[in-house]
């Protein structure tokens, strides 16, 4: 409410303020998440199980993320291309021969026509059965590999540095909006190189791009490291990843970058004549991030009143809410709101003009304001007739809580907006980092480790992230997963000190990052 809202006749006794999202994080985290996504108008479930409808606010968020990341991918020398949605079944057979344990939960196309059957109902036409079924791409290594095999003859054709923005499908039995959906959107980079060294550098470079993107755009502090063998992408020689902590202290894998060695090149036949005139297989990489990043941001930043979007990727950074309940002042307030919007749009932050929206809808001011709170718009400005007279506005920074409000001169609101957006961006990052710091422990004994992941506090939430030594044994890893549902999220690059494995007493080259995960 702005300064113009009629004051109540007499002060009422303070009543506890209800959060906008029910249940709260503390009451039921998974249900809170669903409600935040719904209330924030990001997405909803469709009638096709596991497939979501990404609504305009969620789609706008993805577009901002896509633009930023696309520019980073191009700046590192990559070009976009587009490959077929369908992959012949035989390609999977080729891959299966090279790759153990690749995912088989795929949508399979078997017919290419519909017809009305004898019962009067529509059905796939039996006469239009495909000789070879087609698989809706769960990832595109094989179909892209087939193209690279055509394109590469000589070392002069390398490297190939290509990225694709696409939809992919992996059948999900327990879908959850953004985090795990049957269809999702992503980018998948696929590169082919002359040498292992170049391919390894590419794998690490792209992980670095993801770390930067998560930190500077999404306000997500992430651990950066390498997966153990058991968590590696099937067929990869190395899988690198970024791992974020969310507010129930679990980990979310937010992006991966794989060095595939020559495995996929051999399966697809990507070979070239080397500088020495020998026939060699290319070294390939692949790397991707998905709409799961949206779910990660929600779980990391949202509060009990709804979303808190990082300003760098928010579709609207500043929303102006004209408050003009009375007919006679409405025109003046709306005009002032548009003028203010124009002034704000003339400001730039992070090299781009501010994204400003005036919400002119004819609905109640409270309802309108709460919609934008729940949508996590970084800054709201309320503007009413009294503000016009006084030259002030009410400015609300979302990271400061749903009820934060400052009355400041309008001119200051304009000139100070880039700095304010910067403060919101930094505020979200700092809060997430402090939270992660608070819930990450270096643990030296098995007893402490088990206690950390089993002792529950009043919120039924386990400890968080553990940094603990590990002797490298897959059996130890498997046992802990069985006992605690805790896995090694990665071997962080920052951990380099040798020590003793608390589970076996054996030497350990460095600490691993352990957590429960999505």
Spatial contact of 203 and 285, defined as CB atoms under 8 Å apart: yes
Q: What's the closest the beta carbon of residue 101 comes to a copy of itself, in angstroms?
A: 13
Q: Scanning residues 90 to 109, which ones bind a copy of itself (CB under 8 A)?
A: 92-93, 96, 104-109
The smaller minimum CB distance to a copy of itself, of residues 123 and 456, is found at 123
Q: Scanning residues 54 to 73, which ones bind a copy of itself (CB under 8 A)?
A: 54-56, 58-60, 62-63
The smaller minimum CB distance to a copy of itself, of residues 88 and 416, is found at 88
Contacts with a copy of itself, 26-55, as mask; x by CB under 8 A: ------------------x-xxx--xxxxx
Q: Contacting a copy of itself (CB under 8 A), which of 27, 28, 31, 88? A: 88
Task: Report the distance separating Cα 77 and Cα 69, nearest Å.
Answer: 13
3-class SS of residue 272: strand
Q: Which stretch binds a copy of itself (CB under 8 A): 75-83, 220-228, 296-304, 321-329?
A: 75-83
Task: Report the distance separating Cα 421 and Cα 311, nearest Å.
Answer: 6
The smaller minimum CB distance to a copy of itself, of residues 330 and 357, is found at 357
Q: What's the closest the beta carbon of residue 47 comes to a copy of itself, in angstroms?
A: 6
Q: Which residues pair with 169 in a beta bridge?
A: 183
Q: What's the closest the beta carbon of residue 391 comes to a copy of itself, in angstroms?
A: 32
Q: What's the closest the beta carbon of residue 475 comes to a copy of itself, in angstroms?
A: 28
Q: What's the closest the beta carbon of residue 352 comes to a copy of itself, in angstroms?
A: 14
Q: Scanning residues 231 to 260, which ones bind a copy of itself (CB under 8 A)?
A: none
Q: What is the DSSP string of 173-225?
A: SS-BTTTB-SEEEEEEEEEEESSHHHHHHHHHHHHHHHHHIIIIIT---EEEE
The smaller minimum CB distance to a copy of itself, of residues 84 and 505, is found at 84
Output the CA–CA distances (angstroms, integers) from residue 269 to 94, 103, 353, 461, in the order listed. Answer: 11, 22, 47, 49
The smaller minimum CB distance to a copy of itself, of residues 78 and 258, is found at 78
Q: Of 443, 432, 434, which Cα lies nearest the Cα of 484?
A: 443
Q: What's the closest the beta carbon of residue 361 comes to a copy of itself, in angstroms?
A: 9
The CA-to-CA distance between both ends of the chain, in Å, stands at: 39
Q: How many residues bind a copy of itself (CB under 8 A)?
A: 64
Q: Contacting a copy of itself (CB under 8 A), which of 18, 22, 30, 82? A: 82
The smaller minimum CB distance to a copy of itself, of residues 315 and 502, is found at 315
C-alpha dihedral sign at 30, 36, 39, 40 = negative
Apex CA 254: angle with CA 221 and CA 500, to 5°? 70
Task: Report the distance separating Cα 479 and Cα 477, nearest Å.
Answer: 6
The smaller minimum CB distance to a copy of itself, of residues 124 and 418, is found at 124
Task: Report the distance separating Cα 389 and Cα 2, nearest Å.
Answer: 13
Q: What is the DSSP string of 30-74?
A: HHHHHHHHHHTTSEEE-SSTT-EEE-HHHHHHHHHHHHHHHHHHH
Contacts with a copy of itself, 359-398, as mask; x by CB under 8 A: ----x-----------------------------------
Q: Contacting a copy of itself (CB under 8 A), which of 71, 114, 342, 419? A: 114
Using CA atoms in the order 291, 379, 57, 19, what is the torsion angle rounded to 10 degrees?
90
The smaller minimum CB distance to a copy of itself, of residues 45 and 426, is found at 45
Task: Report the distance separating Cα 246 and Cα 464, nearest Å.
Answer: 9
Q: Contacting a copy of itself (CB under 8 A), which of 28, 34, 38, 185? A: 185
Q: Contacting a copy of itself (CB under 8 A), which of 23, 27, 31, 124? A: 124
Q: Scanning residues 137 to 176, which ones bind a copy of itself (CB under 8 A)?
A: 143, 146-147, 150, 156, 162, 166-167, 169, 171
111 binds a copy of itself (CB under 8 A): yes
3-class SS of residue 518: coil
Task: Report the distance separating Cα 480 and Cα 23, nearest Å.
Answer: 32
Q: What's the closest the beta carbon of residue 7 comes to a copy of itself, in angstroms?
A: 29
Q: Of 51, 20, 50, 52, which Cα lies nearest the Cα of 35?
A: 20
- Binding-site ranges for a copy of itself (CB under 8 A): 44, 46-48, 51-56, 58-60, 62-63, 79-89, 92-93, 96, 104-116, 121-125, 133-136, 143, 146-147, 150, 156, 162, 166-167, 169, 171, 183, 185, 363
């Amino acid at each position: 409410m702005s300064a113009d809202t009629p004051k109540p006749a007499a002060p009422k006794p303070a009543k506890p303020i209800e959060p906008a999202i029910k249940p709260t994080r503390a009451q039921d985290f998974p249900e809170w998440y669903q409600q935040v996504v719904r209330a924030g108008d990001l997405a909803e479930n469709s009638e096709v199980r596991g497939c979501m409808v990404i609504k305009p606010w969620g789609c706008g968020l993805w577009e901002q993320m896509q633009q930023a990341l696309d520019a980073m991918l191009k700046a590192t020398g990559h070009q976009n291309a587009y490959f077929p949605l369908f992959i012949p079944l035989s390609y999977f057979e080729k891959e299966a021969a090279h790759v153990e344990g690749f995912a088989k939960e795929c949508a399979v196309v078997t017919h290419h026509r519909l017809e009305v059957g004898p019962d009067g109902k529509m059905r796939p036409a039996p006469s239009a059965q495909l000789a070879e079924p087609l698989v809706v791409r769960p990832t595109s290594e094989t179909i892209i590999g087939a193209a690279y095999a055509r394109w590469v003859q000589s070392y002069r054709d390398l490297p190939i540095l290509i990225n694709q923005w696409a939809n992919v499908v992996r059948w999900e039995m327990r879908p959850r909006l953004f985090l795990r959906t049957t269809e999702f959107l992503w980018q998948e980079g696929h590169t082919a190189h002359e040498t292992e060294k170049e391919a390894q550098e590419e794998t690490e470079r792209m992980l670095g791009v993801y770390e930067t993107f998560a930190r500077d755009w999404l306000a997500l502090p992430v651990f950066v490291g390498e997966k153990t063998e058991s968590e590696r992408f099937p067929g990869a020689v190395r899988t690198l990843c970024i791992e974020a902590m969310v507010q129930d202290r679990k980990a979310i894998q937010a992006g991966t970058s794989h060095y595939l060695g020559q495995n996929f090149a051999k399966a697809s036949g990507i070979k070239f004549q080397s500088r020495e005139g020998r026939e060699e297989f290319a070294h390939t990489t692949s790397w991707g991030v998905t709409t799961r990043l949206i779910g990660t941001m929600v779980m990391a930043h949202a509060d009990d009143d709804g979303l808190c979007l990082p300003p760098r990727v928010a579709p609207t950074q500043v929303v102006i809410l004209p408050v003009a309940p009375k007919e006679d002042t409405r025109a003046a307030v709306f005009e002032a709101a548009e003028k203010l919007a124009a002034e704000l749009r003339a400001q730039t932050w992070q090299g781009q003009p501010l994204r400003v929206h005036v919400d002119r809808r004819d609905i109640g001011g409270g309802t309108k304001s709460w919609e934008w709170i729940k949508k996590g718009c970084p800054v709201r400005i309320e503007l009413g007739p009294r503000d016009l007279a006084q030259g002030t506005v009410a400015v609300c920074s979302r990271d400061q809580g749903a009820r934060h409000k400052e009355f400041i001169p309008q001119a200051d609101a304009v000139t100070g907006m880039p700095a304010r957006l910067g403060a919101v961006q930094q505020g979200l990052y700092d809060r997430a980092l402090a939270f992660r710091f608070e819930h990450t422990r270096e643990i030296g004994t098995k007893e402490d480790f088990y206690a950390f992941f089993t002792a529950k506090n009043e919120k039924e939430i386990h400890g968080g992230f553990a940094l603990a030594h590990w002797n490298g044994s897959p059996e130890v890893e498997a046992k802990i997963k069985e006992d605690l549902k805790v896995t090694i999220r990665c071997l962080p690059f920052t951990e380099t000190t040798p020590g003793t494995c608390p589970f076996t007493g054996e030497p350990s080259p460095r600490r691993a990052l352990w957590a429960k995960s999505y």
